[in-house]
């Protein structure tokens, strides 16, 4: 069965850990977040990119994500969902009445992109300062609220994962997908 699963939520909620573990359990590719890998690879500071540079980066990372999802014909587990890219677009105030906004939001908010979207809750795990994401929990709460609003509006089937431990989360996701 080619499951297409996405794990979503603000920074520091355990998305990467859970997504990697689920991908290993299911024997499918893990699709990395994108932004973290870019920042670690380049050493860029998001604030130095400016509005136009950041906008361009989000568009490029979304194109890379779409390609990675399309290549994963045996299914995948994605660290972040398309909805996250839509939330980034709104959070960083890139939305305008233009072709980029129309296309990006149509693609990222399209139903049926995933078989299961699992939202990890904000504020249950202490946010660690790692030099990549902001350690300000209220910045993360702002993003989480945008994301939750998009999920409510565009993917009523998204499931919030209540458990905290990685293994308990794996069991919860697999059980809810009927895979265990």
For 91-146, the pLDDT digits (tens) are 999 999 999 999 999 999 999 999 999 999 998 888 777 777 788 899 999 999 99
Q: Which residues contact 33 (CB under 8 A, 6 or more apart)?
A: 15, 16, 79, 80
- What single string gives the DSSP state of each residue in 128-167? PP-SSS---HHHHHHHHHHHHHHHHHH-TT-EE----SHH
User: Which tens digit of pLDDT belongs to each residue from 56-71?
Assistant: 999 999 999 999 999 9
| Stated pTM of the model | 0.94
- What single string gives the DSSP state of each residue in 15-55? HHHHHHHHHHHHT--EE--SHHHHHHHH---HHHHHHHHHH
Taking the C-alpha atoms of residue 118 and residue 9, their distance in angstroms, rounded to an integer, is 8
Q: Kindly tell me if the per-residue pLDDT of 1 is higher than 70.
A: no
| DSSP code of residue 178 | T
Angle, alpha carbons 46-48-54 (nearest 5°): 50
Q: Kindly tell me if the per-residue pLDDT of 12 is higher than 70.
A: yes
Taking the C-alpha atoms of residue 26 and residue 37, their distance in angstroms, rounded to an integer, is 23
Domains and CATH numbers, the chain: 4-176 (3.40.50.300)
Record the tokens describing residue 158, joined without a space: 């998204």
* Per-chain mean pLDDT for the chain: 93
Confirm if 171 and 154 have CB atoms less than 8 A apart. no
User: Which tens digit of pLDDT belongs to each residue from 35-52?
Assistant: 888 988 998 888 889 999
């Amino acid at each position: 069965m080619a499951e297409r699963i996405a794990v979503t939520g603000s920074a520091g909620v355990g998305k990467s850990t859970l997504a990697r573990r689920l991908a290993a359990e299911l024997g499918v590719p893990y699709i990395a977040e994108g932004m973290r890998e870019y920042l670690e690879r380049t050493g860029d500071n998001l604030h130095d990119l400016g509005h136009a540079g950041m906008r361009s980066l989000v568009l490029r990372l979304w194109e890379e994500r779409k390609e990675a999802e399309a290549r994963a014909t045996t299914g995948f587990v994605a660290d972040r969902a398309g909805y996250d890219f839509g939330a980034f677009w709104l959070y960083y105030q890139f939305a305008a009445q233009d072709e980029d906004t129309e296309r990006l939001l149509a693609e990222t908010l399209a139903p049926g992109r995933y078989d299961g979207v699992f939202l990890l809750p904000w504020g249950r795990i202490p946010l660690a300062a790692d030099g990549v994401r902001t350690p300000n929990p209220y910045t993360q709460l702002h993003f989480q609220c945008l994301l939750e609003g998009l999920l409510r509006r565009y993917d009523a089937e998204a499931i919030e994962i209540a458990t905290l431990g990685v293994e308990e989360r794996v069991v919860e996701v697999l059980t809810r997908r009927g895979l265990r």
